[in-house]
């Protein structure tokens, strides 16, 4: 088996299972499926080049998702015009209950970092340690960020 094939197997085994989560994270952040596909591809290139930095035995998922999140932040910073773009991922069901409509709208207006924290914790169900790793903060700080973001949606919310 060639080195390329071995590398492909290693990369696929390590990062392959997390590519879908990477795409979904990028979609939640960028809110554009084409940009999200580009972001996960670019992030995979970065992960491939930096694979040696992943310590043996360390979880690959938060490491890769952190690369995706950083790439998405970088993309937003590059595009000054993005602030006036209309979000393309918007689907409000008219039959939806009022409470859910409110939370959909509220989510759409949250700052991206807040949305990211909520997405990682509530949608991807990452443990708080991994949320912290992706956001680049401690698990305690990540918990606080998730709580504060959720409180913006539901002001009366109490932390568990």
Partner 1 sequence: MEKVRAEIRAAFEKEQAAHPPIMVLRRNVVEAVIDQPRRETNYQWLAVAAALLLGILVVMGLMSTRLVRPTIAPVTHKIPVGDLGPPPAGVPLVYIHDPNHPGWLIGIDWNGKARGTVKFDKSLTYLRMAPDGSLFGGDSQRQGKGGITEYYDRLGNPIASPSSTSALLIQPSQMWADDNRHLCGVSYSPTFAWTFVTQLPGEATRTVGVVSQEQGIGQTSVSLASCSFRNDQAILVRIAVASPTDMWVIRISDGKVIRHVTFPSLNLATIIASRDSAFFAENPSKSTEQQGPSMTATVRRVSDLSAVATLKPEQGVLAFSADDSLVLVTTSPWVDGVPTHFAVIDVKSGKVRWTYEGQEVLGSFLAQPDGNGFVIALKGSGQGQDPARDLLIVRGDGTETKIPDRYVPAW
Both ends of the chain: CA-CA distance in Å?
A: 52
Q: What is the x/- site pattern for partner 1, positions 23-62, by CB under 8 A?
A: xx--xx--x-x--xx--xx--xx-xxx-xxx---------
Which tokens hold the place of 154?
A: 């539901």
Q: CA distances (Å), 115 to each of 17, 33, 60, 147, in order?
A: 23, 16, 22, 12
Count Cα atoms within 13 angstroms, Cβ side, for 112.
Answer: 18
Binding to partner 1 by residue 136, rule CB under 8 A?
yes
Binding to partner 1 by residue 7, rule CB under 8 A?
yes
Binding to partner 1 by residue 74, rule CB under 8 A?
no
Considering only residues 81, 83, 95, 160, which one is a binding residue for partner 1 as defined by CB under 8 A? 160
Q: Looking at beta carbons only, is 74 or 138 nearer to partner 1?
A: 138
Sign of the Cα pseudo-torsion (15, 18, 24, 26, in order): negative
Task: Please report which helix (H) or strand (E) contains residue 84, including its range.
Answer: none
Q: Which residues bind partner 1 (CB under 8 A)?
A: 4, 7-9, 11-13, 15-21, 23-24, 27-28, 31, 33, 36-37, 40-41, 44-45, 47-49, 51-53, 89, 91, 93, 99-100, 103-104, 107, 118-119, 122-125, 127-129, 132, 136-141, 143-144, 150, 153-154, 157-160
């Amino acid at each position: 088996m060639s080195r390329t094939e071995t590398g492909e197997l290693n990369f696929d085994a390590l990062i392959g299972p997390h590519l879908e989560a990477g795409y979904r994270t990028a979609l939640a952040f960028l809110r554009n499926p084409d940009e999200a596909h580009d972001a996960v591809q670019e992030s995979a290139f970065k992960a491939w080049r930096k694979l040696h930095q992943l310590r043996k035995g360390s979880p690959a998922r938060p490491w890769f998702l952190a690369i995706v999140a950083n790439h998405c932040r970088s993309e937003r910073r590059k595009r000054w015009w993005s602030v006036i773009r209309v979000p393309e991922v918007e689907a409000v069901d008219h039959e939806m209950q009022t409470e859910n409509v409110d939370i959909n709208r509220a989510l759409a207006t949250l700052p991206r970092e807040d949305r990211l924290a909520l997405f990682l914790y509530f949608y991807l169900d990452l443990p708080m340690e991994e949320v912290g790793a992706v956001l680049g903060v401690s698990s305690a700080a990540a918990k606080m960020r998730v709580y504060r973001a959720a409180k913006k949606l539901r002001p009366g919310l109490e932390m568990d």
